[in-house]
Amino acid sequence: MTQATQVQQITGPLSARWGINGADLGVAWSDGVSVFHVFGDNYSSVVPGFGGPTGTDRQPNALGWDTTGDLCTGIQYTGFANGTDTPSGNRQAILPAISSSEDGIVPSGGIHVNGKDYLKYIIFRLGHTGQEQTRANGIAESDDGGITWHRVDTAVWMNDSSYTEKFQQQALAEGPDGYVYVYSTPSERHGDVYLMQVPDAAILDKEAYRYWTGTGWSSTESSAEAVFAGPAGEMSAQYLPSVNRWVAMYNDDNDTSNGSTVLRYSTCPTGPWSSPQTVLPDSVRTIYAPMIDPRSTGTDLYFYGSDWNTYQTYLFHSTINLP
C-alpha cells in the first residue's frame, strides 16, 4: 500500500463558522445520504503549538454533516448539530455530561442501522489524570438524523476499579449479515483488540451481545479473547464490500508522540487478521485516532487523523492492495 498523504484539514477554518476552531477524533459513518463527523474535545480558539486540550471554552463533543461525492478534493460541511454561524460561544455538545462524576463524553464509533443513528461514547471519570481512567462505554440514539441524541442505559459497559475491562473503546462496523460487529480495546491506547456482535435490531440490548472466545460466540463477556494483539489505540473498523474485506485501523503505540498508524485486514470479522501494515509512519507524520471514512472503496482508503500539537483533524488518503 502507498504511504498516506494529507488531503485536507477538516477542522479549524473549515468548521470555524460553527465555532469550532480546533478538535480531535472525527468518527465517521453514513446514513446513505450524509456522512456524519463526530469530534471529541473542541474549542472556539486554538493557537499554534496548542499542545492539547487545555483551554477554558471546551465542549466535549460536536457533530457535523457533509454530502461530498468526491473525497479527493476534500469535504465541505453542510451544518453542525447545535451549531450556529456566529457567535461561536453558542455551540453545544450533542452529549453533555449528566452527573457530577462525569468529566468528559468522548465519541468512539458510530453507525446507521434500523433507520436510526447510534453513537458509542466513552465516559471519563471526574478528575481523571490519564486515558486509562474511563468509567464506562455507552450508546446514544438519534431518530432525527443526528440533530438530537439521547443516552440509552440498556447497553453500558462499565469499567472496573483497576481500569482493565476489555470493552471501553468501542468501534462499530456493520456486517453484510444483519449483525453489528464491535471491535474494542481496554482503556488507554495499548490494549489487545476484542470483538462482540449483536443483531442490528437488538443494538440497544446488552443481553443480545455475543463475545468472541477464539473458537465461537459466548454470552459471557469475561470469556472474550483477543482477535489480535495490541498495542492498539483509538481504532476504527469497517467492512469494505467492494473488496470483501474487513479493515481495522489504529495506532500501534500507547501515546500520541510515538508509534505508527497501521492497518490490518481479514476476510472474516473474527479473523485470522493480517499482520499490521504501516499506513503512515510516525517519522513522517504523528497522528492518532485514525477513523475510516465510509466512502472508502476499492483500493482508495480515506481516513481521518488528529494531530495533538495543532489540535486539528485531517483527511488522509492511501491506496491499498488487499490480496
pLDDT value at residue 132: 76
- Nearest CA-CA partner of 273 in 302, 237, 317: 237
Residue 145's identity, in one-letter code, is G
Q: Using pLDDT thresholds of 50, 70 and 90, give the confidence band for residue 92.
A: confident
The total domain count for the chain is 1
pLDDT tens, 120-145? 999 988 777 777 788 899 999 999 99
Q: Counting every residue, how long is the chain?
A: 323
Three-state DSSP at 290 gives: strand
Q: Using pLDDT thresholds of 50, 70 and 90, give the confidence band for residue 51.
A: low
Residues facing 36 on adjacent strands: 29, 65
Q: Average pLDDT of 272-276? A: 96
Please check the confidence at residue 96 and state whether its pLDDT lies above 70. Answer: yes
In whole angstroms, what is the distance from residue 206 CA to residue 136 CA?
A: 14
Q: What is the pTM of this model?
A: 0.95
258: CATH? 2.115.10.20
Q: What angle do CA 206, 267, 111 make, to 5 degrees?
A: 40
In whole angstroms, what is the distance from residue 198 CA to residue 102 CA?
A: 27
In whole angstroms, what is the distance from residue 33 CA to residue 65 CA?
A: 10
Share of the chain above pLDDT 70, in %: 94
pLDDT value at residue 44: 86
- Nearest CA-CA partner of 269 in 167, 180, 137, 206: 180
Please check the confidence at residue 52 and state whether its pLDDT lies above 70. Answer: no
Residue numbers of the domain that contains 204: 5-319
Please check the confidence at residue 246 and state whether its pLDDT lies above 80. Answer: yes
pLDDT value at residue 258: 59
pLDDT value at residue 253: 77
How far, rounded to the nearest angstrom, does the alpha carbon of residue 236 sit from its chain's CA centroid? 6
pLDDT value at residue 112: 98
Q: Average pLDDT of 170-181? A: 98
**Cell representation of residue 133:** 481512567
Instruction: At 73, give phi and psi (nearest 5°).
Output: -105, 5
